[in-house]
Structure formats: C-alpha cells, structure tokens
Amino acid sequence: MSDLAYGFIALDLMPMLAGVLAALCCGLLGNHLVLRQQSLMGDAISHAVLPGLVLAFLVGGTINPAYMFLGAGASAIVTVVLIQLVRRLGRVEPGAAMGVIFSVLFALGVFLLEQGNARAVDLDASCVLYGNLESLSLHWTPADTWDAFLSKATLEQIPRQIWTLLGMTGASIVFMVLFFKELRISAFDPGISTAQGINASAIQFLLMVFVAAAAVASFEAVGSILVIAMLICPAATARLLTDRMGSQILVSALAALGASVGGYFLSANAPESLVHGGSVNAAGMMAVIGGVLLVLTIIASPRHGIVARAVHRQKLSRRIAMEDLLTTLYRAREAGAPHHASGMPAVARAKSSGLVTAKNGALSLTERGLADASAIIRRHRLWEGYLVDRAGLLPDHVHAVAETLEHLDSPSPNETDAPHGDQHGKPIPPAS
Amino acid sequence: MNAAPPTTSALAQRPEHSEESPLSVHAMTVAYDRKPVLWDIDYDAPSEALVAIVGPNGAGKSTMIKACLGLIPKASGTVEFWGQAHKRARSRIGYVPQRESVDWDFPVSALDVVCMGRYRKIGWCRPVSRAHKRVALECLERVGMADFAKRQISQLSGGQQQRVFLARALAQESDLYFMDEPFAGVDAATERAIIAVLRDLRAEGKTVIVVHHDLQTVPEYFDHALLLNMRVVAAGPVEHVFTQENLHKTYGGRLTLLSEAAEAIARRDRGG
C-alpha cells in the first residue's frame, strides 16, 4: 500500500465515512420533511433530543447507544406532543410553537450538561454543535498492507459511531423504500390517506421517530449543525431540480454525497492563509458546501432558477419589442406615412433577420416582415372585436387589453367570435 | 353493565338504518374546540342516487363528510355504511377532498395521483404494479385526461386538477363516494365531464354525496338533497325538499341566494 493511500486510510477514511453516512441519512430523510413543508420540525427535533441524550447518559453512566436512542426517542415524542399542546393551548402558529419548544428543550439539555457529571467526558456543548469527527481516527490504526488490512482485525477497529451511522442509514433507506407509497400519499393528501386506512398521523409520527434517531446517530460524530443542514439543503436542492419524488430523492442523495465528500476535502486541504489557528472543522465545512450547493441551484436551476427565469423574461421582452416594431411599421404603412426609427435594438435585430429594410432612413417591412405583422395585427383586431362583441367592453377600452393579448401564443378568436369586425373600422388582415 | 349496547344488527333492523343504506348517520354531533359545528345529525342516504349537500358557509358541510370518514372525531353519535362501521366498509368508500386542501406543487405526475386511489387495494409496503397503473390510466381516460398522465400536477389547470382528483376516486372502485365541492371554480368542460361521470356512477348502482354550492344546478344534477345548517333542515328527493320554505330555513335571509333558488325551482316546475 502506498504512503499516500495509507495516510488517507489511517487519517481521513473514518471521519469522512462518518460525515458521508450522516449526510446521506439526514439528506434522505430530509426529503420527506421538505415535501411536508416541515423542515423546521427536523430542526426542532434535532435540537430537542439533547436533554434526552444527556439524561440517558446520566442514567447509563457511559455512552450507551441503546440508552441514547431510548432517551432521544422519548425526547422526540415529548417534543411533538409539546408542540401540539403549545399550538392548541397557546393559540400560536406552528412555527412559533416549534421555535419555543426546541429552544427551551435545547437550553434544558445544555443546562443538564453543565450540571451533570457529563462535563468530564466528550459530551460537552461544543461537541453537540460541531461533533468530533477528527477523533474517529484516534483509535484506528489499520495494517499497512492490503492483505492485512482486508481482515477481521480491521473490522473490529472500526469505531462504534461508524457502525451506528451505517445501521441508521441502512434503516432509513429500508424505511423509505418500504413505505415509499405510504410516505407519498400521507404527505400529499393526508385526508384520503387516512380515509383509505393509511393513517397519516401515524406515518408522520414514524417519520419523526426516524428523524430523531438519525439526529442521535449523527450527533456524536458530526454534531447538530451538520444534521440540520443535511436535513434541509440536499432535499431543497433536489426539489428545485426535479419534479418527481423518486428522482428528487436520488438527486438529494447525490447532493448529500457531494457536500460531505467535497466539504471534507476542502477542510483537509484548506489553504493556510484562510485558516486562523489550526484547522477547519470538517462537519462545519460540509454544512457550508451543502448551503453553497443550494444557493448555486437557486441561481442556476434550469427551470426554477433565477438565471433561467431572467433569460426567459429577456427572450419574451425581445419578442414583444420585435412584434411591437412590426405592428408600428404596419400601421405606418396603412396610414401611408414613412416611419423613422433607429437606435432601438429591435430595429437592428429586425434588419438582420430580414423582416425590415431601411431606405434613406425610413424603415419598411419586407415581404416576410409584412406577413408576420399581418398575423399580429389580425390577432389584435380580432381580440378587440371579441372583447366588444362577446365580453361587453366599450370600444375605447379594448386597445390596451388587445395590445397584451396579441402577443399570446394561445389560440386567438376568429371572425365568428367577432362578427362586427374591427372596432375602429380598420380591415382585419386575412389568416395566412 | 347489564344493558348491552345496540349492536349492528339491532340498528340494521330499524327501518331507517337498513343494511341497504350506504350511509346511516345517527345522532351525530361534531365540535371544534368545544364549539359545536354539527348538532344531532340524523341522515340516511339512498342507494343509486346523486345527493347534494347544500347550506351556507360554515353550515358544517365539509365537516359532515370528514366526520363520516373518521377524519375528525365525533363528539357523539354513530355512522354506519351498509350497517357496518367505517373501518370494515373502508374499501367501499371513495373520497374527493377540496382541491385547495393539497399542495399542487408536490412532485408527482397526474398518473401518480390517480394511482393513490389504488393504494388500499395494493396493500402496505408494496410497489404499484403495472396492472394497477393500467387501471389508473383507464380512470384518467374516463375523465378525458389520458394525454396528461405524465404531467407534473402543477402544470395542470384548476379544472384538470379537479378531474385528476375525480379519476383518483374512480380508481378506488368504491360503491359510495363523498365529494367536497368538485364543481368549485372549474371550467364548463370540466363541469360537463364531472356530471357525466357522476351519472355513470349512478347507473352502475353507486351513491355519490356531493357538497355543492350552486343552488341553481341542484335540481338539474341531483336526485336527493340534504339541506344543512348545523342541523339537518330537510332531506329527501329534490322535488320534495327543495322548496322556498326549506331554503329560507337553511339560508336565513340571504336574498340573492334565495332568488337564485326560486328561479331554479320555477325552472324545475316548468320542466317537470
């Protein structure tokens, strides 16, 4: 095994694996929170499990996964119930109820941490936030030849947190595959779901239990910041890129993988000049990359992105400017007056696409330009007739409306829809 | 406990609670936050009929449907379907909720939504098989939406969305349907498509109970009417219960609605 490979395996493999598994697990479950518009609930639960964890630790005396899952599960249930209670009794909106409950429970957890004897061990407040990824390599000393590495001894060295995360990720995938249909219907239409016997509240509750368990499994290694980021960012990114639930889930898994692997390498190879005092927190960097991916998608998503919408608007306004130029020239030609217009970008474009020619500064329509202009004028005048004859508008009110409608691609009226012809006595060009 | 509670069969022996009746509501009261919304509702729906539930805003029309389906708790009373509790009759009951009740940006296609009507038949934790998809596609065809099967639902118009909901109800292959304002805000083509499907369902021997807002079309579209305003004002065949007096009791002094209804009644009398 080369030094480079050994260095990676010995130092980076375990922390990176923990980050990837935590990101994957939370990223996948996050889809169902985003679809239910309950991302805040994930935030709430991942904070509110802290007092349960600390209590489990105090009771168990050591970090015992079974106690921790029980404690966190109990806190998750208490959280959901308390949120409902505050909503109903306090008559506040759901967001406010969640905000109150999770901040109070998190504070309670921090208080318990400070008070209890938990202080001496690796349960401390900053570990809860940022995790302890780097420590996963401490007791991991794999063999340096491939033959010796691929043995049972190596397996036995893998830290407990990795096994927990692996189990949790596997369980989440099984849950989401098995209950794909039930999760879909209960999120989309809880009414018909429950009426058919698929109890939407029960499914919702099951989902919350999984989110709480994922938060517990992840928190020790990666901390709650990464949990919250991964519950929201990958799913929200995928939501903007897809329009089917299945593909959304796959894309969110890719986004979670990209954010965790990318974040890890960036933190490991951060330039010295950017790092003040030591190293960059890997979990924090993964969360940042998750956020960056989301921002990039918001900007560049092919259908919903800011750029795509701006380009679409730009194209539309160019087309409208061109159509307005053509109709202006058509009306000028009808009135027998030459039209002088220059400097407008639409004029240059119309000339280069052969719709308009210029002679001594006066613009006129070419044969193709005339055909295009007639079609638009025809739509305009038929819409005016239609608005008066069928919609009962006054003749002097219809021009502005028709000015908008003439640019639409949808079918326009024909002569039978506007039996009285043009409202201002102008001829309606025949259909080409 | 010496007196046994009335059993299903005891209820079924009462003439108005027969096993023939697709829906029997007895002494049902529903309250939100201790404020009653429905008081002491007694109602038996006929089989093979189109039934309109009409009443002013806040009369409890949607609440009645949801309480029958067990979606909101009842304060008291019983609801039976063919003499059975809802749990046992579930697969024979279809439901079309209000269109606004769901998120139409949800990442599913029209066909996916219609397949949801098959989920009970498919069973827990199983994927949607090709045979079920074929049935769903046929249901989309029946409402004239087969060409839109692959569209994401946000790209459909309001009327098309309503037809997708109707197709989903058809996919449930039920004997009794509850529909919450299927005609609200739809275009004329959709309204015709919906009423054609409703008539087909009746011809197949099914009962459809529809929350309906447009008093004018009640006599034309429906056989039976349930006039509701927290209590049942009147219920029965449209020609018996759809009278000026009953409507006045239901709607109070809302004149515009009453004059619309008067027109409808006059038209029915002329027609009949």
- Over residues A135-155, the pLDDT tens digits come to 888 888 888 888 888 888 888
Position B237 confidence tier, pLDDT thresholds 50, 70, 90: very high
CATH class of A309-405: mainly alpha
Task: Extract the tokens encoding A247.
Answer: 């593909």
Partners of A401 in the β-ladder: none
Q: Residue B204: which residues within 8 A CB-CB, separation 6 or more?
A: none
Distances (CA, A) of B93 to A235, B73, B84, B167, B207: 35, 18, 12, 14, 10
Burial of B150 (0-12, 13-18, 19+ CB in 10 A): exposed
Q: What percent of chain B has pLDDT over 90?
A: 75
Q: Is B103 on the interface with A (CB under 8 A)?
A: yes
**B72 near A CB under 8 A:** no
Across the interface, whether the CB atoms of B101 and A191 are under 8 A apart is answered yes
The per-residue pLDDT for A52 is 86
Q: Looking up tokens 């429906």, which residue turns up?
A: B222
| pLDDT reported for residue A139 | 80
Burial class (CB in 10 A: 0-12, 13-18, 19+), B39: middle
CA-based nearest residue in chain A for residue B150: A244
Cβ contacts of B107 on chain A, cutoff 8 Å: 35, 239, 242-245, 247-248
Q: Which residue in B has a C-alpha nearest to residue A200's C-alpha?
A: B71
- Taking the Cβ of residue B124 and every Cβ of chain A, the question of whether any pair is shorter than 8 Å is answered with yes
Q: Using the structure block, give the residue that is written with the tokens 């900007």.
A: A299
For residue B170, what pLDDT band results from cuts at 50, 70 and 90?
A: very high
- From B113, B85, B61, select the one nearest B5 (Cα to Cα): B85
Into which CATH architecture does domain A3-221 fall? Orthogonal Bundle (1.10)
> Which pLDDT tens digit goes with each residue over A187-238?
999 999 999 999 999 999 899 889 988 988 887 788 888 999 999 999 999 9
Cβ separation of A191 and B71 shorter than 8 Å? Answer: yes
CA distance B259 to A83: 48
Question: Which residue among B97, B103, B120 sits closest to A196, beta carbon to beta carbon?
Answer: B120
Would you place residue A418 in the very low, low, confident or very high pLDDT band (cuts 50, 70, 90)?
confident
Query: Average pLDDT of A13-42?
Result: 93
Alpha-carbon distance values, B4 to B7, B15, B88 (Å): 8, 21, 21
CB of A131 closer than 8 Å to CB of A228: no
- Whether the per-residue pLDDT at B2 is higher than 50: the answer is no
Contact B166, B194 (CB under 8 A): yes
Res B4: pLDDT:
46
Question: CA nearest A244: which of B235, B72, B155?
Answer: B155
DSSP symbol at A76:
H
The predicted structure's pLDDT at residue B7: 46
β-bridge partners, B24: B44, B80
C-alpha dihedral, A65 to A66 to A70 to A72, nearest 10°:
10
Q: Which amino acid is at B150?
A: K
Residue A253 pLDDT level (bands cut at 50, 70, 90)? very high
Q: What is the mean predicted confidence (pLDDT) over B132-160?
A: 95
CA-based nearest distance A233→chain B, Å: 17
Q: Which of B167, B183, B210, B196 shows the shortest CA–CA distance to B49?
A: B210
Residue A385 host element (H or E): helix A367-389
Mutate to test the interface with B, among A176, A181, A242 (most CBs of B within 10 A): A181
Q: How confident is the model at residue A394 (pLDDT cuts 50, 70, 90)?
A: confident
**Residue range B187-193: mean pLDDT, rounded:** 90
> Which of A182, A187, A197 is facing B90, going by the closest CB pair?
A197
Return the axis-axis angle of helices A200-241 and A160-178, rounded to nearest 10°.
Answer: 100
Indicate the domain borders of chain A: 3-221, 309-405
Q: How far apart are CA B28 and CA B228, in angstroms?
A: 13
In this predicted structure, what is the pLDDT of residue B256?
A: 59
Contact criterion met (CB < 8 Å) for B172 and A196: yes
Least confident range from A117-131, A204-218, A293-307, A398-412: namely A117-131
pLDDT over 80 (residue B198)? yes
Interface touch B107/A244, C-beta < 8 Å:
yes
Helix (H), strand (E), coil (C) string for chain B? CCCCCCCHHHHHHCHHHCCCCCEEEEEEEEEECCEEEEEEEEEEECCCCEEEEECCCCCCHHHHHHHHCCCCCCCEEEEEECCECHHHHHHHEEEECCHHHCCCCCCCEHHHHHHHHHHHHHCCCCCCCHHHHHHHHHHHHHCCCHHHCCCEHHHCCHHHHHHHHHHHHHHCCCCEEEEECCCCCCCHHHHHHHHHHHHHHHHCCCEEEEECCCHHHHHHHCCEEEEEECEEEEEEEHHHHCCHHHHHHHHCCCHHHHHHHHHHHHHHHHHC
In B, which residues are within 8 Å of A180 by CB distance? 127
From the list A217, A233, A212, the residue with the least C-alpha distance to A45 is A212
| pLDDT tops 60 at residue B51 | yes
> How close B2 comes to chain A (CA, Å)?
34
- Cα B141 to Cα B60: distance, rounded to the nearest angstrom: 34
Contacts of B45 (CB under 8 A, 6+ apart): B21, B22, B23, B24, B51, B176, B207, B209, B224
Q: For residue A191, give the chain B residue with the closest CA.
A: B71
Chain A interface disruption, residue of B71, B109, B173, most A CBs within 10 A:
B71
Report which residue type is found at B195.
I
CB spacing of A35 vs B106 below 8 angstroms: yes
Confidence check: pLDDT of A282 > 80: yes
Sorted by sequence, the CB contacts under 8 Å of residue B29 that are 6+ apart come out as B36, B38, B39, B40, B41, B74, B75, B76, B77
Closest CA to A12 of A23, A20, A2, A24: A20
pLDDT in tens, B238-266: 999 999 889 888 888 665 556 666 667 77
Q: CB contact, 8 Å: A250 with chain B?
A: no
Which of A32, A182, A192 to mutate against chain B (most B CBs within 10 Å)?
Answer: A192
Q: Which token pair is A177?
A: 């595959």
**In DSSP terms, which residues pair with B54 in a beta bridge?**
B227
Q: Does ipTM come in above 0.95?
A: no
Q: Determine the residue of chain B that is closest to A183 in CA distance.
A: B125
* Residue A320 vs residues A289, A313, A323, A392, B253: alpha-carbon distances, Å: 40, 10, 5, 27, 52
Does A185 contact B at CB distance below 8 Å?
yes
By DSSP bridging, strand B93-96 and strand B176-180 are: parallel
Among A181, A195, A244, select the one facing B128 at the smallest CB separation: A181
Judged by average pLDDT, the poorest of A293-307, A357-371, B126-140 is A357-371
Cα dihedral sign, A279-A282-A284-A290: positive
For chain B, how far is it from start to end, CA to CA, in angstroms? 55
- Arithmetic mean of pLDDT over chain B: 88
Short-list A146, A213, A183, CA closest to A31: A183
Query: What is the Cα–Cα distance from A229 to A231, expressed in whole angstroms?
Result: 6
Instruction: With CA atoms as reference, report the closest residue to B155 among B115, B105, B111.
Output: B105
Question: A75 CB contacts (<8 Å, ≥6 apart)?
Answer: A48, A49, A50, A51, A52, A53, A105, A212
H/E stretch holding A222: helix A200-241
Going by C-beta distance under 8 Å and a sequence separation of 6 or more, which residues neighbour residue A161?
A: A18, A136, A220, A221
Q: A195 to chain B: nearest residue by CA? A: B69
Interface check for B92 against chain A (CB to CB < 8 A): the answer is no
> Are B17 and B11 within 8 A, CB to CB?
yes
B49 is written with which tokens?
A: 């009929």
Rounded mean pLDDT of B102-122?
Answer: 96
CA of B109 to nearest chain A CA: how many angstroms apart?
Answer: 7
**CB contact at 8 A, A323 and A376:** yes
8 Å CB contact between A210 and A175: yes
Mean local confidence (pLDDT), A165-175: 96
Q: Which one-letter DSSP state was computed for residue A61?
A: S
Strands A362-365 and B23-32, bridge-based pairing = unpaired
Share of chain A above pLDDT 90, in %: 39
Which of B66, B116, B150 is the best residue to mutate to test the A interface, defined by the most A CB atoms within 10 Å of its own CB? B116
Closest listed residue to residue B184, CA positions, set B165, B204, B208, B159: B159
Q: Greater confidence, A318 or B17?
A: A318
Q: How many CB atoms lie within 10 A of CB A360?
A: 6
List the one residue out of B94, B100, B104, B112 whose CA is nearest residue B185. B100
